[in-house]
Amino acid sequence: MAEDISTPQDEDLNDKEPVTGFNPDAGNDTGDSFDKEPGTGISSDLDDDSTFNPNVDKDPVFTPRIDEVPEDAPPRLEDKLIPYQTYDTISLNSGDDLYKSSIPTISSVVSEIVSTEGPIHSEEVIRRIRESCGLRRAGSKVRNIISSGMEMAENNGNIRRSGDFLLLNDTSRIDVRQRKYKVDITYISAEEIREALKMVLEFEKEINKRELIIKTSRLFGFKTTSKKTFDRIENVLEDMLNKGELKNNDGLISF
């Protein structure tokens, strides 16, 4: 059974607030916010506009900073992060392109997006194509066209579905990707969350559940961990525990 946490909907679940101090990259003491999560080796310089807005259903972004380190330095958790790559060469560039293209053409575009960004939420695929075509919204006609392309790509064996997410059919490895934009945990697949949890455990070996979830959220770019984000990661963690992939030893999680 999942651990009960009595936390308001968007309450920060971090132990500490970011501290203000000297930023070595700035060359002088500007008082820029400098946040470092203990034990992860991940730090970031954060702008004022990264502050959480409770009126927006997204968590503020946290961008890990990759500094130059000596060759003999011990491995860092952030070194295993893969930059998130967005497919930005979509061949559909107008509403007419979308409406007049054949379903096989749409299917090919869907497969190309998934090839670069999978696992990717189906709504994100729709948004990529909509924005490429310069459309302000995805009405029923647009959705039906793109959905038909998704279905054909799946039937042809090019992609597969995992819940609301699309992956290449021959995907054998899921990378944990560093996101540099404001991200919603809803659009991160359970498969990628699982890999992030395992990545943290490879470094920590044994860690309490709450800290494991918070450190995992950091890998995806969250500066703070809202209840929505916490619950989503916790659900994946509980599934791994129930399947025997991880162990819970008196509140400490390990392999």
CATH of the domain at 101: 1.10.10
pLDDT at 18: 40
Asked whether the predicted pLDDT for residue 98 surpasses 90, the reply is yes
Q: How many Cα neighbours within 13 Å face the side chain of 86? A: 11
Between helix 190-204 and helix 227-242 the angle, nearest 10°, is 80
pLDDT tens digits, 140-185: 999 999 999 999 999 999 999 999 999 999 877 899 998 988 889 9
The tokens describing 140, both together, are 């029923």
- Using the predicted structure, report yes or no on whether residue 206 has a pLDDT greater than 60: yes
Domain shared by 197 and 226, yes or no: yes
- At 247, is the pLDDT very low, low, confident or very high (cuts 50, 70, 90)? very high
62 and 106 assigned to the same domain: no
Residues 244, 192, single domain; the answer is yes
* Same domain (yes/no): 188, 247: yes
Domain assignment present for residue 4? The answer is no
In percent, the amount of the chain with pLDDT more than 70 equals 71
Structure confidence at residue 181 (pLDDT): 81
| Domain containing residue 155 | 95-168
Domain boundary among 143, 168, 193: 168
Residue where a domain stops, chosen among 112, 145, 168: 168
Domain limit, last residue, from 168, 200, 221: 168
| Residue 13 resides in a domain | no
pLDDT band at residue 219 using 50, 70 and 90 as cut-offs? very high
Res 65: pLDDT: 53
Least confident residue range of 63-67, 68-72, 179-183: 63-67
To the question of pTM greater than 0.75 for the whole model, the response is no
> In the sheet where 19-20 sits, what is the strand order?
19-20, 33-37, 42-46
Mark whether 50 and 163 lie in a shared domain. no
Per the structure, the count of domains in the chain is 2
- Are residues 116 and 144 located together in one domain of the fold? yes
Residue 75 maps to a domain: yes
Instruction: Give a three-class secondary structure readout of 103-129.
Output: HHHHHHHHHHHHHHHCCEEHHHHHHHH
